[in-house]
Amino acid sequence: MTEAVFSAPWLKALYRELNQFAAHTQSPVLVHGQQRRGLLSVANQWAAFRLCEQPVGDQACEHCAACHMRQGGNHPDLQVLCPQSVSLEMGFPLELKTGTKPSQEIRVDDVRQLQSFLHTASSRGHERIVLVYPFDALNLNAANALLKILEEPGEGLRFVLIGHKPEHLLPTIRSRCQSLAATEPDYKEAVTWLKGLSVAEPEVAFSLAMNDPFDALDLSNNQIDQLGLRKKWVDWLVSPEQQNQLPAGLEKMGFPVAVELAQRVCADLSAVCQGGTVEVFPWLAPRVLWAKRISLQSLSRVFALLTRQSAIAEHPLNPRLALEFVAQEWHNQLVKTQS
């Protein structure tokens, strides 16, 4: 997946921007975007380049002593401030008391652990870098502690904060940072990229992955059964003639996924119903023309039902029954009521 991340054109562009940005400011940089994956990889790639002792163009060489230390996770001038759960995912060494769950938040203790790093000079004569990821996970106390550090950063110390919703960050932290918004790939760019990585039916995979290109790649390469289930469900939703029976095993896709896909199909049906174009599942366009005969009122009712279901979707008592209920309502409202 890592190599795939670096081949994504929208992330390459972000990397170039971050490089230019950081070259012109010593302020902390706030890298933010909706995309779940890739932002941290870009920040890591940038840190690697800055710490590398024999960089090649705008990239780390991956062979010098500094690169070796970073690859081993023990470069003395690089720190990642993240929740314990993210530490575990990234394979950092972490000591947890037996019986305790890894924290999902960045806590004030995590920020305090940075103190000794902040007050020692660079070990390798370069700058020192702190990556904060995701900044969304900072709890209030941790955010306040971080603010104090940002107010008086030590010499040669660089901060990059990476996350998704800067509007939820303390305004006093936000105002100290230079903000860099990551653009999301558009449909065409993502599909072209997936095609280049030999994904079969890239349009289908992309939309069934809720327009997340990395999830689309993962579904196609590693979760072909899950991809098949999602396709079957969407196929059922747009086929009134098949709706006398819900295929067996569909619930294995997971109820939250099923509800989200239904919401997306509903958006397309609603567009067609109002004379617009199909945007979420363009490859389904010829198969949703029947939506012209649905009343907007029925679509609104289904939409409201799906919104209610999505609020409780994480914990259905019986996934099969929950899915059958949604399917039944879908059919009653959208197919039976057609004019």
Binding site for Zn ion (CB under 5 A): 52, 60-61, 64, 67
Tell the residue number behind the tokens 């003395």, with chain if given: 76
Q: Rg for the chain (alpha carbons), in Å?
A: 24
Identity of the residue, 61 or 210, whose beta carbon is nearer to Zn ion in the bound complex? 61
Smallest gap from Cβ 45 to Zn ion, in A, equals: 12
Smallest gap from Cβ 46 to Zn ion, in A, equals: 13
Identity of the residue, 70 or 107, whose beta carbon is nearer to Zn ion in the bound complex? 70
Identity of the residue, 47 or 291, whose beta carbon is nearer to Zn ion in the bound complex? 47
Smallest gap from Cβ 78 to Zn ion, in A, equals: 13
CA-to-CA dists, residue 196 to 19, 36, 208, 214, 320, angstroms: 26, 21, 18, 13, 37
CA-to-CA dists, residue 305 to 71, 301, 311, 336, angstroms: 49, 6, 10, 17
Q: Name the residue among 213, 186, 212, 210 with its Cα closest to residue 280.
A: 210
DSSP character at residue 59: B
Identity of the residue, 52 or 145, whose beta carbon is nearer to Zn ion in the bound complex? 52
Identity of the residue, 60 or 137, whose beta carbon is nearer to Zn ion in the bound complex? 60
DSSP letters for 210-242: TT-HHHHHHHHHH-HHHHHHHHHHHHHHT-GGG
The kind and range of the H/E element at 31 are strand 29-32
Virtual CA dihedral for 92, 98, 99, 104, nearest 10 degrees?
Answer: -20
Smallest gap from Cβ 1 to Zn ion, in A, equals: 22
Identity of the residue, 13 or 69, whose beta carbon is nearer to Zn ion in the bound complex? 69
Smallest gap from Cβ 64 to Zn ion, in A, equals: 3
Smallest gap from Cβ 75 to Zn ion, in A, equals: 10
